[in-house]
Amino acid sequence: MLENKSRTEISELGEFGLIDHLTKNIRLHHASTEKGAGDDAAVLDHSGRKTIVTTDLLTEGIHFDLAYVPLRHLGYKSVIVNLSDVYAMNATPTQITVSIAFSNRFSLEAIEELYSGMLLACDKYKVDLAGGDTTSSQHGLVISITALGTAAADEIAYRDGAAEGELICVSGDLGAAYMGLQILEREKQVYLENPAMQPDLQGKDYILERQLKPEARGDVLELLRALEVKPTSMIDISDGLASEILHIATRSGLGCKLFEEKIPIDPMTYESAREFNLDPTVCALSGGEDYELLFTIAQKDYEKVKNQPDISVIGHMTAKDEGCYLISKSGQVHQITAQGWDAFLKKKE
User: Residues annotated as binding site for Mg(2+)?
Assistant: 40, 54-56, 85, 133, 236, 239
Rounded to a whole number of angstroms, the minimum distance from the CB of residue 136 to a second copy is 5
Rounded to a whole number of angstroms, the minimum distance from the CB of residue 130 to a second copy is 7
* Residues near 110 by beta carbon (within 8 Å), at least 6 away in sequence: 2, 71, 102
Q: What is the dihedral of CA 163, 167, 172, 175, to 10 degrees?
A: 80
Number of Cβ within 10 Å of residue 267's Cβ equals 10
Contact 58, 78 (CB under 8 A): yes
User: Residue 200 or 342: which CB sits closer to a second copy?
Assistant: 342
User: Residue 46 or 262: which CB sits closer to a second copy?
Assistant: 46
Rounded to a whole number of angstroms, the minimum distance from the CB of residue 329 to a second copy is 29
- Computed over its alpha carbons, how large is the radius of gyration of the chain? 21
Binding residues for substrate: 63, 289, 341
Side-chain half-sphere CA neighbours of 344 within 13 A:
2
User: Residue 2 or 57: which CB sits closer to a second copy?
Assistant: 57
Strand partners, 98: 132, 145
With b meaning 16 or more CB within 10 Å and e meaning fewer, what string describes 306-330? eebebbbbbbbbbeeeeebbbbeee
Give the C-alpha separation, 196 to 25, whole Å: 39
Binding residues for ATP: 115, 132-133, 159, 238
Rounded to a whole number of angstroms, the minimum distance from the CB of residue 319 to a second copy is 23
User: Residue 91 or 326: which CB sits closer to a second copy?
Assistant: 91
**Local structure of 224: helix, strand or coil:** helix
User: Residue 127 or 265: which CB sits closer to a second copy?
Assistant: 127
Rounded to a whole number of angstroms, the minimum distance from the CB of residue 306 to a second copy is 26
User: Residue 173 or 236: which CB sits closer to a second copy?
Assistant: 236
> Which residue from 206, 235, 245 is spatially nearest to 326, judged by alpha carbons?
245
Contact 234, 89 (CB under 8 A): yes
Rounded to a whole number of angstroms, the minimum distance from the CB of residue 221 to a second copy is 13
User: Residue 136 or 332: which CB sits closer to a second copy?
Assistant: 136
Burial tier of 211 (Cβ tally within 10 Å: 0-12, 13-18, 19+): buried
Binding residues: 40, 54-56, 63, 85, 115, 132-133, 159, 236, 238-239, 289, 341
Distances (CA, A) of 119 to 93, 96, 107, 126, 160: 14, 10, 18, 10, 33
Rounded to a whole number of angstroms, the minimum distance from the CB of residue 336 to a second copy is 15
